[in-house]
């Protein structure tokens, strides 16, 4: 089955997931790799990925998902806040809600992704006035710095192979 890998990534985290998916699947069946584009819609199977923007996927991925018809779709993404599978499920489900009926959701995989230094500067400023609120934010920021790591990418690889085994 021909497939496409479509993603939006501002700082490269989600692109790492896209690259891993590309690396493990047959290159001769890949018909499109990159930002949302009409060309990608020729594939029956689409891997669609996004960074997390205010609790859901980016606006261009939202729009892309809303335009899909009768496709098999696997979602992937990264989020600055991590460590909780419930949080990742919430984002995966929000992304999936953009898919019109008639498409088949094959599953999703999300992991944590590092945030830009400007975010830490904001938390540091917050720590001056509200240290209690800032502390967990700073801790999460520092934890995110190493993600997505090899273990995240290996888990994605396993999730994709498991999905293809069932699909």
Supply the minimum distance, in Å, between the C-beta of residue 76 and ligand FMN.
Answer: 10
Instruction: Please check whether residue 112 is in contact with residue 147, taking contact to mean a CB–CB distance below 8 angstroms.
Output: yes
79 binds ligand FMN (CB under 6 A): yes
CA-to-CA distance for 156 and 7, rounded, in angstroms?
15
Span near ligand FMN by CB under 6 A; candidates 11-19, 67-75, 98-106, 121-129: 11-19
> How many angstroms from the chain centroid is the CA of residue 155?
13
115 binds ligand FMN (CB under 6 A): yes
Supply the minimum distance, in Å, between the C-beta of residue 9 and ligand FMN.
Answer: 3
13 binds ligand FMN (CB under 6 A): yes
93 binds ligand FMN (CB under 6 A): no
DSSP state of 130: -
Instruction: Please check whether residue 112 is in contact with residue 76, taking contact to mean a CB–CB distance below 8 angstroms.
Output: no
78 binds ligand FMN (CB under 6 A): yes
With CB under 6 A as the contact rule, the residue among 32, 41, 113, 123 that binds ligand FMN is 113
> How many angstroms from the chain centroid is the CA of residue 22?
14
Per-residue tokens: 161? 């192979």
Span near ligand FMN by CB under 6 A; candidates 38-46, 62-70, 78-86, 102-110: 78-86
CA-to-CA distance for 148 and 95, rounded, in angstroms?
19
Directed axis angle between helix 13-24 and helix 150-166, to 10°?
Answer: 50
Per-residue tokens: 11? 């700082």
With CB under 6 A as the contact rule, the residue among 3, 32, 47, 51 that binds ligand FMN is 51
14 binds ligand FMN (CB under 6 A): yes
136 binds ligand FMN (CB under 6 A): no
With CB under 6 A as the contact rule, the residue among 27, 54, 70, 166 that binds ligand FMN is 54
Verify cis geometry, omega within 30 degrees of 0, for the bond prior to 101.
no
Summarize as ranges the residues that interact with ligand FMN (CB under 6 A).
Answer: 9-14, 51-55, 78-81, 113, 115
């Amino acid at each position: 089955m021909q497939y496409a890998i479509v993603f939006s990534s501002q700082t490269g985290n989600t692109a790492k997931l896209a690259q891993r998916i590309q690396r493990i699947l047959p290159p001769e069946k890949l018909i499109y790799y990159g930002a949302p584009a009409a060309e990608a819609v020729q594939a029956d199977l689409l891997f669609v990925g996004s960074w997390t923007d205010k609790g859901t996927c980016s606006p261009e991925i939202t729009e892309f998902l809303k335009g899909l018809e009768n496709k098999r779709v696997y979602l992937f993404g990264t989020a600055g806040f991590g460590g909780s599978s419930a949080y990742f499920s919430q984002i995966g489900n929000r992304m999936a809600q953009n898919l019109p009926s008639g498409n088949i959701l094959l599953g999703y995989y999300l992991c944590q992704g590092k945030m830009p230094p400007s975010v830490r500067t904001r938390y540091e400023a917050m720590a001056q006035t509200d240290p209690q609120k800032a502390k967990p934010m700073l801790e999460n920021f520092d934890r995110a710095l190493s993600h997505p790591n090899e273990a995240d990418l290996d888990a994605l690889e396993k999730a994709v192979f498991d999905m293809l085994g069932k699909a």
